[in-house]
Amino acid sequence: MIKLANKRVLLGVSGSIAAYKSAELVRLLRQQGAEVRVVMTATATEFVQPLTFQALSGNMVYSAWDDADRGDGMGHIELARWADAIIIAPASADLLARLRQGMANDLLTTLCLASDRMIAVAPAMNRLMWENAATQDNMAVLKQRGIHVLGPGTGGQACGEIGLGRMLEPDQLVQDISALFGSGILSGARLLLTAGPTREPIDAMRFLSNRSSGKMGYALAQAAIEAGADVTLISGPVALTAPARAKRRDVNSANEMYEAVMAEVPTHDIFISAAAVADYRPLEFSKEKVKRKANTIDLALTQNRDIVASVAALPNKPFVVGFAAETSDVERHARGKLQRKGLDMIAANQVGDGQGAEVDDNAMTLYWVEGSHHLEKTTKHKLARQMIAIIGEHYHAAT
């Protein structure tokens, strides 16, 4: 089975004799279906010629700052956005120390700092350098920040010593990298997702909206792509960049979101409704800006159509996952929505008091008729990967 189909791997190569093994790693990653771009540190180019990686990856190799430049100085950000994962192999002791410090003194460390994607390192160094308290301290901090550590392995080293510190062999690394991406559980599935708030217009200038930033929905879009899905993202107004491979449609109001979802849903297998859709909109819209007159004014509201319930009521409905944003009695309200809206699953989160919306971390409990699964508070990106794994399992069980 091709394990890395559609995956974009940014391979960072730092200064170590093990850099020669990374040439084989590029070949094996591509064999598993990944698209690979290589970024080398200056020291790495002294061990292996960039041309070797260029020939094996089929892409230009980035090393100097301006290699990634597109003329506006933002090329490094584009490169960071391009990747589904950054894998640094070999990761020298120096590179790991710089990563731990959050330094951005070359292209590779800058990319790591500018990325919210999965990062993994495959350390390679002399055994005493590996055992050194400084390196071990660096590794502990990197792990705590969610950076994956692949290896090192044990055995004979280039310096003649024997011990822990060898970079893992390329075939082992490919297996570990595939495992990090998950099982490709949504390979071939077409997933439709809503994210962000809606804006319900009052007049030429004003609207009703809510606190959703879109972070949770966008993280789910990225996680679904990593799991192999084709993703269509219908987004309310947010200040986020969509994952490079998601098809994005921008909408403003709940009505626009409803129309966009209904147009897209027949060609999708899974629908996740992460958007904070306004339940009500102003009954009337004034083209003129409403003038200030009385101390109080009445604003009549009318109910919006329920998008997720409408999708769940379709005769050929996809697998439908709703959300429940609650301030109290989370399970009771979430289970009520699961049943009333006819959903396959609901993701319930506590909102208010700085929880759920706007922030970078969240906790979630997934409910379905016969069960539930609680996911502890973590970054929305990690949470999204865990959610997609569970949604994927239930989707397959239902089809």
277 binds ligand PMT (CB under 6 A): yes
Distance CA 96, CA 142 (A): 8
Task: Using CB under 6 A, pick the residue from 91, 274, 366, 387 that binds ligand PMT.
Answer: 274
Greatest Cα pair distance in the chain: 86
Residues with Cβ < 8 Å from 315, sequence gap 6 or more? none
Distance CA 353, CA 62 (A): 44
DSSP class per residue in 116-132: -SEEEEEE---HHHHHS
What b/e sequence results for 197-211 when a residue is b if at least 16 CB atoms lie within 10 Å of its CB, and e otherwise? bbbbbbeeeebbbbe
Name the residue among 41, 52, 36 with its Cα closest to residue 16.
41
Burial of 359 (0-12, 13-18, 19+ CB in 10 A): middle
Minimum distance from residue 38 beta carbon to ligand PMT (Å): 33
Distance CA 310, CA 320 (A): 11
> What residues between 143 and 172 interact with ligand PMT by CB under 6 A?
none
Residue 139: other Cβ atoms inside 10 A: 18
Interface with ligand PMT: number of residues (CB under 6 A): 27
Minimum distance from residue 324 beta carbon to ligand PMT (Å): 4
Residues paired with 85 in a beta bridge: 9, 118
Regarding beta strands 8-13 and 85-91, do their DSSP bridges make them parallel or antiparallel, or are they unpaired? parallel
Minimum distance from residue 386 beta carbon to ligand PMT (Å): 14
| Binding track, positions 227-256, relative to ligand PMT; x by CB under 6 A | ---------------------------x--
Residue closer to ligand PMT, measured from CB, 99 or 351? 351
Task: Using CB under 6 A, pick the residue from 165, 214, 228, 392 that binds ligand PMT.
Answer: 214
Task: Using CB under 6 A, pick the residue from 276, 338, 345, 375 that binds ligand PMT.
Answer: 276
331 binds ligand PMT (CB under 6 A): no
265 binds ligand PMT (CB under 6 A): no
Task: Using CB under 6 A, pick the residue from 83, 322, 382, 388 that binds ligand PMT.
Answer: 322
> What residues between 351 and 380 interact with ligand PMT by CB under 6 A?
351, 356-358
Of the CA atoms within 13 Å of residue 127, those in its CB half-sphere come to 12
Task: Using CB under 6 A, pick the residue from 242, 324, 383, 384 that binds ligand PMT.
Answer: 324
> What residues between 333 and 352 interact with ligand PMT by CB under 6 A?
337, 349, 351
Minimum distance from residue 368 beta carbon to ligand PMT (Å): 14
Task: Using CB under 6 A, pick the residue from 306, 382, 388, 390 that binds ligand PMT.
Answer: 306
Could you tell me which stretch among 129-137, 163-171, 208-216, 383-391 binds ligand PMT (CB under 6 A)?
Answer: 208-216
Task: Using CB under 6 A, pick the residue from 8, 117, 215, 268 that binds ligand PMT.
Answer: 215
User: Identity (one letter) of the amino acid at 44?
Assistant: A
Minimum distance from residue 275 beta carbon to ligand PMT (Å): 5
Could you tell me which stretch among 40-48, 181-189, 276-284, 366-374 binds ligand PMT (CB under 6 A)?
Answer: 276-284
User: Identity (one letter) of the amino acid at 229?
Assistant: A
Q: For residue 244, give the 3-state DSSP assignment.
A: coil
126 binds ligand PMT (CB under 6 A): no
189 binds ligand PMT (CB under 6 A): no
Residue closer to ligand PMT, measured from CB, 40 or 366? 366
Q: For residue 207, give the 3-state DSSP assignment.
A: strand
Catalytic residues: 159
Task: Using CB under 6 A, pick the residue from 25, 304, 383, 391 that binds ligand PMT.
Answer: 304
Residues with Cβ < 8 Å from 196, sequence gap 6 or more? 212, 213, 214, 217, 235, 236, 237, 238, 240, 275, 276
Distance CA 295, CA 64 (A): 63
Binding site for ligand PMT (CB under 6 A): 212-217, 254, 273-277, 279, 304, 306-308, 322-325, 337, 349, 351, 356-358
